[in-house]
Structure 1
Amino acid sequence: MPKAIVEVSRRGEYFDKALELARRADAGEPLPAVDYHLGFANAAQLFGDLTPARLALLERLKSSGPLSIKALAAQLGRNYSNVHADTTKLLELGLVEKNAAGKVLVPWEEIQIRVTLGGTAAAKRRRPLKCGGMTRLRKCAAAVAWSRLEYRLM
């Protein structure tokens, strides 16, 4: 099952990847498994759309399976209209889907959120800073000298 990769990407990066895939297809080479890529211009835009409340919603859906918005709101202890608005945004972003019964689900085996910031001493680290869970994600995002934040929802 494919994964969703959410990242800050440089202008033209997806076009370059598409050209490379087209070149490989024209040459008759096998193509890699397809993942869903969602790119943002900068970290502020990414975290503006993927708020802590929306990340918590994704985590709940991933762990519990398909739910109605009403059941999801009850499990999260949140207002129905706010959960509906967040679900609508996540549907627009392609991170959740609705099944035939109208229940919301995460169709991805894994969602990776990647943010790389350059120009700091921390950027010279060999291994990326990995953050799992909402509490550690907030701490990582609050750190000033981080070069790469990687959050995985499995």
Structure 2
Amino acid sequence: MSPTTWFVTGASSGLGHALAEHVLELGHRAVATAPVVAPLTGLADRHPEQCLVLQLDVTEGRRCADAVREAEEWSGGIDVLVNNAGIDFVGALEEQQESDYRAVFEVNFFGAVTLTRAVLPAMRARRRGTIVNISSMDGLASLPGNGFHSASKFAL
């Protein structure tokens, strides 16, 4: 089986970083993305031929399109998109600022939509590809002070 290319957002820590590392250890390629790429240098150093690190803020539409194009040129095509990037904002609903809850939706929902739209044309042309959206149990059952995060994950 030939190696697949995984495009993972939010790969600087947590699940995204662990997933990118696992994919690389299995011999596949990973395009590891994050707004701050310093935490990803170790992955690239350990897997220089298999890992492409890209700075990416998923709320920047043009940058999303550019990052997908760079990844496709580097790898020949993205096989798996993992929409993992996410943020949370905890606080009472009436105490949150509009900019806070809009930011949660921009990253958690609209960022995933933007990247999905960017990878679909090439996946459709190749007639294959997988899109994984990382949501949360919060999307089904919210906790006090976490309503907007829950709503964004439910939307996803």
TM-score of the pair, normalised by structure 2: 0.31
Higher relative contact order (CA 8 A, sep 6+): 1
**Rg larger for:** 1
User: Larger % of helix: which?
Assistant: 2
Structure with more strand by fraction: 1
**TM-score with structure 1 length normalisation?**
0.31
